[in-house]
Structure 1
Amino acid sequence: MILKSKFFSILDSRIEEPLTRLACYGSSPEVASGTFNVKDYITIREVGHQDAIYFVNKIRTNIINGDWLIEPKQTEELNKDQKNWYSRGKMTYRLLCDMNDIIYSNFDGISNTINHYFYVMFYQETPIGILMLTNDFLRITEPAKIQDFIMHIGIRRCGILLIEHAVNKSNELGKNGNIKLTPAPNARDVYREYGFSFKEGHMLLEPDQNEKWGFRNEKYYFMAGCNY
């Protein structure tokens, strides 16, 4: 049974353990005796197609072996919050499987004018999230697109660090940092807090026109004061 206690979060950084459900959802809220800045333990790397497949499967394996999912036979014993957790876990796992299949297919049927970029987030050496950014280099004014963006189910409020990398890649590609995505309905409010707004059927972020974003040392960054 899941003990609702604690997520791993850049805003709540008292976790020093390896990424397991016990570490993030232990029976005690005091998981670690000391405090530190979790961002110091997070790195983000751009990787190629084959490495992206490898890390997608590493995240998927961690979810299974780390006891993050509940066996289906247990669902009848769960309360509403736990059933929501189960649904979220299964959805995350399915999205990872779908992403694996898309990358493994080498983007069969997708225009060869579209380039793909992959960013993996690590906590220490454990992969905890992955983002796939696409860019059509023939459409100069079209924003880069976040095609897939998946975080480990034990993670909260760290995904913005991957979005920062996507924004800066867009800027590097000559798109002024502009990115777009098509979020799930239940994720729209989160992206609004990140500075996205609806435009022509998708959500668009234009960091140079958004007060939640700053620019320093030739890089865009999300304002920490927004607390998301």
Structure 2
Amino acid sequence: MAVTLKKSPMIMNHPDRYNYFVCYIGSVPIGMLLLTLFYYDKYDTFQENEPLYPEVHLLVTHPGIQNCASLLVERAVNKSYEFGCSGNLRVPVKNNSKILSDNVYARMGFTKFTNDQAVDMKLKPSESHLWLFSPSHGGYLYKGYC
């Protein structure tokens, strides 16, 4: 089954706010993450202000592969750091899934916060024991593999 991702008008108008990462084994893609940089005001609405949390909009991995999601999230954390957002990330939890929130995102250091529509999760790597800032690496390393 082939999947085609079409560029939305928002991506076409603001390509600098979107990044995607693909993880491969050899030439076979095993995971993908789409990261968006939105600007929020204090009421969490789209606005031309300072970015608070770049958002993981899509995270897909092959079901038979371990640690691919954390590799992709590590790359997104470092892209957030490059954006000037301190490595912070936000991820919406589809249907408020406890499996995703407790078994996937929480294990990578994400914590829950609530907005008006749903329970989302945020990651502040500087406040998590699962993340290490490495000046020689130029960003954050995920320690959760150990």
Q: Same fold (TM over 0.5)?
A: yes
Question: What RMSD over aligned residues (CA atoms) do the two structures have, in Å?
Answer: 2.2
More helix by share: 1
C-alpha distance 108-214 of structure 1, shift in aligned 2 (>3 A): same
Measured in 2, the distance between the counterparts of 1:120 and 1:165 equals 10
**Count of residue correspondences:** 127
1:151 aligns with 2:64: no
- CA displacement 1:30-81 (0-9 Å, x = unmatched): xxxxxxxxxxxxxxxxxxxxxxxxxxxxxx55xxxxxxxxxxxxxxxxxxxx
Q: Which amino acid aligns with 2:30?
A: I
> Identity of paired residues, percent?
28
2:42 is matched with none
* TM-score between both structures, scaled by the size of structure 1: 0.51
Measured in 2, the distance between the counterparts of 1:212 and 1:159 equals 15
- Extract unaligned runs of 5+ from structure 2: 40-47
Measured in 1, the distance between the counterparts of 2:125 and 2:12 equals 27
- CA displacement 1:178-206 (0-9 Å, x = unmatched): 00011230211111111000113310000
1:169 corresponds to which of 67, 79, 101: 79
1:122 corresponds to which of 11, 19, 24: 24
- Extract unaligned runs of 5+ from structure 1: 1-59, 62-96
* TM-score between both structures, scaled by the size of structure 2: 0.77
1:207 is matched with 125
C-alpha distance 202-224 of structure 1, shift in aligned 2 (>3 A): closer
**What are the within-5 Å matches in structure 2 for residues 78-227 of structure 1?**
97=3, 100=4, 103-104=5-6, 106-108=7-9, 112=13, 115-136=17-38, 138-184=48-94, 185=97, 186-189=99-102, 190-200=104-114, 201-216=119-134, 217=136, 218-225=138-145, 227=146
Computing the radius of gyration over CA atoms, which structure comes out larger, 1 or 2?
1
- CA displacement 1:164-191 (0-9 Å, x = unmatched): 0000000000110000011230211111
Measured in 2, the distance between the counterparts of 1:194 and 1:205 equals 8
Q: Which amino acid aligns with 2:108?
A: Y
8 Å CA contact 1:213, 1:220 repeated in 2? yes
